[in-house]
Amino acid sequence: MEKPPKKLLDQVRELIRRKHYSIRTEQAYVLWIKRYILFHNKRHPRDMGKPEIEAFLTHLAVDLKVASSTQNQALSAIFFFYRDVLKKELGWLDDVERAKRPARLPVVLIKQEVDETLLHLEGTPWLMTSLLYGVESQIK
């Protein structure tokens, strides 16, 4: 008597464990694969391909406005799923709207602000802050 084939997500979990990925990676990948399947109304992933993956990743960036690192994690999970579990090569995804990286402006203090901050510190915190800001001052 032949065993029924394992469910897709069980196959994912088993392969991730065999490859010694972390439990957090397993949890994240399973979540993204579930979301991908649900996004396409539970169609079987074997019946889907590049256009559906591009639609899902674009949805994450445009509609849900996820961070680029979040979109990249979803992409990695789906690539793993197709490449390693389904044994299906996808090639490169050209038509994906990429999530935008947030603009980060560096915070810079003027000399007076550094001096005022140092007035409120003593000992090791004072020393570390003065080293970080290159302050030429008397040891406190």
* DSSP string computed for the chain: -PPPPPPHHHHHHHHHHHTT--HHHHHHHHHHHHHHHHHTTT--GGG--HHHHHHHHHHHHHTS---HHHHHHHHHHHHHIIIIIS--------SPPPPPPPP-PPP---HHHHHHHHHT--HHHHHHHHHHTT------
pLDDT digits (tens, 9 = 90+) for 57-94: 999 999 999 998 999 999 999 999 999 999 988 777 76
Q: Would you state the pLDDT for residue 138?
A: 56
CATH of the domain at 49: 1.10.150.130
Has residue 92 been placed in a domain?
A: no
Query: How many domains is the chain partitioned into structurally?
Result: 2
Do 75 and 116 share a domain, yes or no? no
Do 12 and 80 share a domain, yes or no? yes
Do 130 and 72 share a domain, yes or no? no
Do 111 and 45 share a domain, yes or no? no
Q: Would you state the pLDDT for residue 139?
A: 56
pLDDT digits (tens, 9 = 90+) for 91-127: 777 667 777 776 777 778 888 888 898 899 999 999 8
Do 75 and 37 share a domain, yes or no? yes
Q: Is the pLDDT of residue 26 over 90?
A: yes
Has residue 51 been placed in a domain?
A: yes
Q: Is the pLDDT of residue 28 over 80?
A: yes
Has residue 79 been placed in a domain?
A: yes
Do 70 and 37 share a domain, yes or no? yes
Q: Is the pLDDT of residue 42 over 90?
A: yes
Do 69 and 28 share a domain, yes or no? yes
Do 76 and 116 share a domain, yes or no? no
Q: Would you state the pLDDT for residue 89?
A: 84
Do 75 and 134 share a domain, yes or no? no
